[in-house]
Copies of this chain bind each other. A is one copy, B any other.
Amino acid sequence: MTNRIPPRSGAAFEVKAGQTLTVTDPMGGQVSDLVAFWREDIGEWLSNGRTFDYGETIRVAGEGTVLWSNRSRPMLTITRDDVGVHDFLLTPCSREMWPIVYPDEPPHRGCLGNLAEALAPYGVTRDAVPTAFNVFMNVPVRPDGRLSVEPPVSKAGDSLILRAELDLIVGLTACSAGASNGGTFKPIDWRVSD
């Protein structure tokens, strides 16, 4: 069964070890922020720092790539990657971000607010949301370290598939920030499969 996250909103759900999570961009050019916590103890969470360290790269993409927890355990492994461009540097957009980054736009609670609401039933607070794995997000980094947020290169129907290595709680969004998705707000589809 495929589920749809409406534009500028989020969802949270369980994925058991061995199951796969498919994240699909149904219209193309959209971003989905992904966070994960161990089902048995939400003190264990998906960590960009550990993933960069053990993978020895900031480009977290491609089949076989492992996403690690703060306790140094594999949480998710990419098993199919139609796009190959994702970001693990930037935090979910938030109400506080708008006046800093988009001062001329009306503020939105953003992916952080959406994740916090969706994850609340699992006991995950807003403060406990770490830097997200931003599926399909296109953040080039120049040789001097400067970064920019560019439109995603994902096309309609492109997917990322990840295998859960632990029983997980996953938070997922259809991103709320204009720059991340080329200026339009679109849905994200997801499916959990055995």
Contacts and interface: CB of A to CB of B under 8 A. Distances in A.
A104 interface: no
Interface in A42-89: 43-45, 47-50, 52-54, 56-59, 70-73, 89
Assembly of this chain: how many copies? 2
A96 B90 CA distance: 25
A141 interface: yes
The secondary-structure label for the interface of chain A is loop
Contact of A146 (B53, B54, B56, B70): B56
Interface string A147-191: 110000000000000000000000000000000000000000000
A35 to B, nearest CB: 11
Contacts of A128: 43
A44 B100 CA distance: 18
Instruction: Pick from A49, A71, A94, A128 the residue with the most CB of B within 10 Å.
Output: A49
7 contacts: A47-B91, A53-B89, A54-B101, A58-B58, A58-B89, A58-B141, A59-B144
The 3 closest A-B pairs by CB, nearest first: A59-B145, A49-B91, A49-B131
